[in-house]
Amino acid sequence: MRRDDGTVLVLTLGLAGLLLVVVAIVVDVSAVVLAKRGVASAADGAAVSAAQALDEQVLYDQGLGAAVPLSAADAAARVAAYEADARAGQPGLELAVRVEGATAVVTAVRTVRPPFRVFGQGDVTLTAVARARAPVIAP
């Protein structure tokens, strides 16, 4: 006759261990997803801010007829200020802005470390890109 004492013990312990690993994976994934949403939100907010960086000199020179471009320096300063504000909630957030005519393109990058790092999962780098434009319309 085959000995099977203790089998239930092993099975139950195995099941409990498996469930704990699954919980850890769920927590890790949701932490990364939440961080990703935060990065996307910061990119959006920074793009909206950068889209206000109207090049006033061009506006005064040419008037409202053609599209008024953004000032790259002003946009960069606005994004830097936004980055400083947003870092209070998202440490390590990096924002970069590129001006394409009247459109501001903001790239947000943040590296996060999942809390449990199941199976040796390393740090995750999250990237989000947002574009915004604020056209000037004659009243």
Cα(52)–Cα(74) distance, integer angstroms: 9
Cα(54)–Cα(75) distance, integer angstroms: 8
- Which ranges of the chain would DSSP assign to H, the alpha helix? 7-50, 56-62, 72-86
Given 28, 39, 49, 104, the residue binding another protein (CB under 8 A): 49
Given 25, 32, 48, 58, the residue binding another protein (CB under 8 A): 48
Q: Which of residues 58-117 bind another protein (CB under 8 A)?
A: 78, 81-82, 85-86, 88-89
Cα(130)–Cα(1) distance, integer angstroms: 68
Q: Which residues bind another protein (CB under 8 A)?
A: 1, 5, 7-9, 12-13, 16, 19-20, 23, 26-27, 30, 34, 37-38, 41-42, 45, 48-49, 52, 54, 78, 81-82, 85-86, 88-89, 134, 136
